Amino acid sequence: MSVETQKETLGFQTEVKQLLHLMIHSLYSNKEIFLRELISNASDAVDKLRFEALSKPELLEGGAELKIRVSFDKDAKTVTLEDNGIGMSREDAITHLGTIAKSGTADFMKHLSGDQKKDSHLIGQFGVGFYSAFIVADKVDVFSRRAGADASEGVHWSSKGEGDFEVATVEKAERGTRIVLHLKSGEDEFADGWRLRNIIKKYSDHIALPIELPKEVAAAEGEEKPAVEWETVNRASALWTRPRTEIKDEEYQEFYKHIAHDFENPLSWSHNKVEGKLEYSSLLYVPTRAPFDLYQREAPKGLKLYVQRVFVMDQAESFLPLYLRFIKGVVDSNDLSLNVSREILQKDPIIDSMKSALTKRVLDMLEKLAKNEPEQYKGFWKNFGQVMKEGPAEDFANKEKIAGLLRFASTQGEEGEQVVGLAEYLARAKEGQDKIYYLTGETYAQVKNSPHLEVFRKKGIEVLLLTDRIDEWLMSYLSDFDGKSFVDVARGDLDLGNLDSEEDKKAAEEVAKSKEGLVERLKTALGDSVAEVRVSHRLTDSPAILAIGEQDLGMQMRQILEASGQKVPDSKPIFEFNPAHPLIEKLDNEQSDERFGDLSHILFDQAALAAGDSLKDPAAYVRRLNKLLVELSV
């Protein structure tokens, strides 16, 4: 055994201690998962070496045959996993095995719920699968050396999974990492060749490099122990290069878990090979649940890029638009060079063609899911809907296709559930309806009970109810769908077109003409508070509402701009009143200008509150209301 120097004992980060406690107390109900995690990490280490060796071939140190070896010792009750990948320096071992800094410890712990099933999927996502070794081991030794470093710069990391770990500098001739698991009492089943072979075949058959196990052969004459030969137990071929007809669903699912570091099966996947002017293979997955960093637009994202089966880049983000950043998978091109960089990817016209085709393939996959598995699509929309809403602004070419995938709440839908698609909305539209009506607001209760919907309820017209903060911004990029234009029912002068009879239109004109005097009195009373006063065609029950000008920002956009520190353009609402309402009739008959002014401002402020807005002068509203209450009580 090598002489150890610079030996020190260091404490685990608090979050690691908590994580180890979860692991040791069987966070995973399926203990054998530890081997999948360690093999997956070893595969990543080999991929990193391949990538770095493209520009620094000396890192291979003359050994270009890359592999993973798994062995066991029944007497010592150990399982050993070794790779000849990139390896770790002393600093790497302390950083990567002693903390969870790379993935954000606060985020990681915030997402832990205490529910084993829910928490287990986080482990891989946060890159902490190494600690799953402590499910079956009461001590773990890691021996590693970074490729290109001197043999004297090896590191020995050791821990019993308690509060601290030891790290020392050792001599290590070969690059890469060797992990020795000292099995707990009762976990001897894993120190068995047949058991390990089955686990590897079950979870890691798709790994595209040899995973070897020792094969005992008869001892040669004069030898005391049998010679050890190694045999490859997995296919060791890239899954995406095989014909689809030969691949089982379970293999696709395990490959997804490997590349996505996820513990749940994917929702859907698409495997495709393109030949002709461009030649490439792709295997794309839709995850079941959203990753923790989905809304961090600067977080790493993208597909694994291979060139002629050689791993080149993790998280190559140039192959899909940003609104599809949740898609996982691989793309393997025959047309790119092995020394391709992120900068080259951003400028290469080949990438633009591939991006266009891969985007369409993802959207087709989602269309198929929505059509054939509507319940599954509901789950997808709940997790990824807000990200999909970024699509129409980012991807003009596929705007109509994306719009067909959007889901909204509506006046005919379930309580607050975003389940209504635009095609479904149009299929049940009223005869003669040539518009798609919608209303935006802060909450479902606010928009569902909005006075703006009164005429729509009366006529039985469905209205989409949009309550996500991004919705008003989204609708600024969606002008129409399937030839039908979108209409914000709170904006401008509402025109129901063919849904209003000629008699209705004529009657409305006559009423408006008869109330011209009241309109002028209200304009004088409300003054600069409003852009315009007019008779409303929207109201059946409420006395008044505030409408938004055609070119003005709605409340959601104003809040988004204010939150980002941008100056919000000044605008004034349009005050609309219901001439048939008793309050308006009393207002029209009011002789006192002072009292008329107070009542007008009270109606204006109430309309603002009903729209979800805040009052500019709450004290004045309370003062006017109290004055009115005193008068009524006298």
Are residue 188 and residue 243 in the same domain, yes or no?
no
Over 80: is that where the pLDDT of 110 sits? no
Query: How far apart (Å, rounded) are the C-alpha atoms in residues 524 and 424?
Result: 46
Over 80: is that where the pLDDT of 78 sits? yes
Q: Where residue 142 sits, what CATH number does that domain have?
A: 3.30.565.10
Query: How far apart (Å, rounded) are the C-alpha atoms in residues 395 and 389?
Result: 11
Domain boundary among 232, 247, 279: 232
Averaged pLDDT score across all residues of the chain? 85
pLDDT at res. 112: 56
pLDDT at res. 102: 43
Q: Where residue 246 sits, what CATH number does that domain have?
A: 3.30.230.80
What pairs with residue 228 in β-bridges?
Answer: 216
The values of phi and psi at residue 163, to 5°, are -85, -15
pLDDT at res. 621: 87
Query: How far apart (Å, rounded) are the C-alpha atoms in residues 384 and 374?
Result: 15
Query: How far apart (Å, rounded) are the C-alpha atoms in residues 500 and 280?
Result: 56
pLDDT in tens, 436-487: 999 998 888 888 988 999 999 988 999 999 988 889 889 989 989 999 999 9
Over 80: is that where the pLDDT of 295 sits? no
Are residue 607 and residue 486 in the same domain, yes or no?
no
Over 70: is that where the pLDDT of 107 sits? no
Q: Is 374 helix (H, G, I), strand (E, B) or coil?
A: helix
**What are the DSSP calls for 332-361, one per residue?**
EESSS-TT--HHHHHH-HHHHHHHHHHHHH
Are residue 167 and residue 57 in the same domain, yes or no?
yes
Query: How far apart (Å, rounded) are the C-alpha atoms in residues 85 and 65?
Result: 10
pLDDT at res. 466: 92
Q: Is the dihedral of CA 228, 233, 239, 244 positive or negative?
A: positive
Give the number of C-alpha atoms closer than 13 A to the C-alpha of residue 593, restricted to the C-beta side.
Answer: 6
Residue with the two structure tokens 């109201």? 539
Are residue 141 and residue 250 in the same domain, yes or no?
no
Helix (H) or strand (E) holding 156: strand 154-159
Q: Check if the beta carbon of residue 241 is closer than 8 Å to that of residue 332.
A: yes
Are residue 84 and residue 203 in the same domain, yes or no?
yes
Query: How far apart (Å, rounded) are the C-alpha atoms in residues 17 and 37?
Result: 19
Query: How far apart (Å, rounded) are the C-alpha atoms in residues 58 and 200?
Result: 31
Q: Check if the beta carbon of residue 187 is closer than 8 Å to that of residue 136.
A: yes
Sorted by sequence, the CB contacts under 8 Å of residue 531 that are 6+ apart come out as 549, 571, 572, 573, 574
Q: What is the mean pLDDT of residues 258-283?
A: 90
| CA dist 569 → 88, 420, 554, 557, 620 (Å) | 55, 33, 11, 11, 25
Over 50: is that where the pLDDT of 103 sits? no
Tell me, yes or no, whether 393 lies in a domain. no
Largest Cα–Cα separation, the chain: 122
pLDDT at res. 408: 94
What are the structure tokens assigned to 14, written together?
A: 């608090």
Over 90: is that where the pLDDT of 207 sits? no
Q: Check if the beta carbon of residue 439 is closer than 8 Å to that of residue 409.
A: no
Q: Check if the beta carbon of residue 84 is closer than 8 Å to that of residue 175.
A: yes
pLDDT at res. 222: 62
Are residue 34 and residue 174 in the same domain, yes or no?
yes
Are residue 480 and residue 508 in the same domain, yes or no?
no
Calculate what percentage of the chain has a pLDDT beyond 90.
Answer: 43
Over 70: is that where the pLDDT of 109 sits? no
pLDDT in tens, 583-600: 999 888 888 888 999 999
Q: Check if the beta carbon of residue 320 is closer than 8 Å to that of residue 273.
A: no
Are residue 114 and residue 172 in the same domain, yes or no?
yes
Sorted by sequence, the CB contacts under 8 Å of residue 316 that are 6+ apart come out as 302, 303, 304, 305, 331, 342, 345
Are residue 491 and residue 532 in the same domain, yes or no?
no
pLDDT in tens, 113-127: 555 545 544 554 545
Q: Where residue 582 sits, what CATH number does that domain have?
A: 1.20.120.790
Tell me, yes or no, whether 507 lies in a domain. yes
Query: How far apart (Å, rounded) are the C-alpha atoms in residues 64 and 53?
Result: 10
Tell me, yes or no, whether 397 lies in a domain. no
Query: How far apart (Å, rounded) are the C-alpha atoms in residues 518 and 514?
Result: 9
pLDDT in tens, 339-385: 677 777 777 788 899 999 999 999 999 999 999 999 999 999 999 99
**Identity of the highest mean pLDDT range in 99-103, 295-299, 480-484, 497-501:** 480-484
Higher pLDDT among residues 511 and 265, named by residue: 265
- What is the number of other CB atoms lying within 10 angstroms of the CB of residue 571? 13
**What are the DSSP calls for 194-240, one per residue?**
HHHHHHHHHHSTT-SS-EEEEEE-PPPTT-SSPPEEEEE-S--S-GG
Domain boundary among 449, 468, 496: 496
Among 166-175, 259-268, 279-288, 363-372, the minimum mean pLDDT is found in: 259-268
Query: How far apart (Å, rounded) are the C-alpha atoms in residues 611 and 447?
Result: 8
Closest Cα partner for 107 from 14, 11, 15?
Answer: 15
- 268-274: strand order across its sheet: 268-274, 280-286, 328-333, 303-307, 310-316
Query: How far apart (Å, rounded) are the C-alpha atoms in residues 264 and 285?
Result: 12
pLDDT at res. 294: 77
Over 90: is that where the pLDDT of 543 sits? yes
pLDDT at res. 12: 80
Tell me, yes or no, whether 291 lies in a domain. yes
- 532-535: strand order across its sheet: 532-535, 574-577, 544-547
Tell me, yes or no, whether 399 lies in a domain. no
Over 50: is that where the pLDDT of 105 sits? no
Higher pLDDT among residues 223 and 139, named by residue: 139
Q: What DSSP designation does 549 have?
A: P
pLDDT in tens, 37-49: 899 889 989 988 9
**What are the DSSP calls for 238-267, one per residue?**
-GGGS-GGG--HHHHHHHHHHHHT-SS--S
| CA dist 147 → 81, 86, 174, 545 (Å) | 18, 5, 9, 71
Are residue 129 and residue 196 in the same domain, yes or no?
yes
Tell me, yes or no, whether 87 lies in a domain. yes
Q: Check if the beta carbon of residue 499 is closer than 8 Å to that of residue 513.
A: no
pLDDT bin (cut points 50, 70, 90) of residue 173 is: very high
Are residue 580 and residue 451 in the same domain, yes or no?
no
Q: Where residue 410 sits, what CATH number does that domain have?
A: 3.40.50.11260
Q: What is the mean pLDDT of residues 236-242?
A: 87
Sorted by sequence, the CB contacts under 8 Å of residue 476 that are 6+ apart come out as 557
pLDDT at res. 195: 94
pLDDT bin (cut points 50, 70, 90) of residue 273 is: very high
Q: Which one-letter amino acid corresponds to residue 36?
A: R
- Domain assignment of residue 418, given as a range: 405-496
Sorted by sequence, the CB contacts under 8 Å of residue 309 that are 6+ apart come out as 208, 238, 241, 332
Higher pLDDT among residues 571 and 271, named by residue: 271
On the 0-12 / 13-18 / 19+ scale of CB atoms within 10 A, 416 is middle
Domain boundary among 232, 254, 282: 232
Query: How far apart (Å, rounded) are the C-alpha atoms in residues 472 and 392?
Result: 12
Over 60: is that where the pLDDT of 176 sits? yes
Tell me, yes or no, whether 369 lies in a domain. yes
Are residue 172 and residue 303 in the same domain, yes or no?
no
Query: How far apart (Å, rounded) are the C-alpha atoms in residues 354 and 279?
Result: 10
pLDDT at res. 194: 93
pLDDT at res. 218: 61
What are the structure tokens assigned to 68, written together?
A: 């993973």
Q: Is 482 helix (H, G, I), strand (E, B) or coil?
A: coil
What are the structure tokens assigned to 430, written together?
A: 């009223």
Whole-prediction pTM: 0.75
Structurally, how many domains does the chain consist of? Answer: 4
Over 60: is that where the pLDDT of 108 sits? no
pLDDT bin (cut points 50, 70, 90) of residue 562 is: low
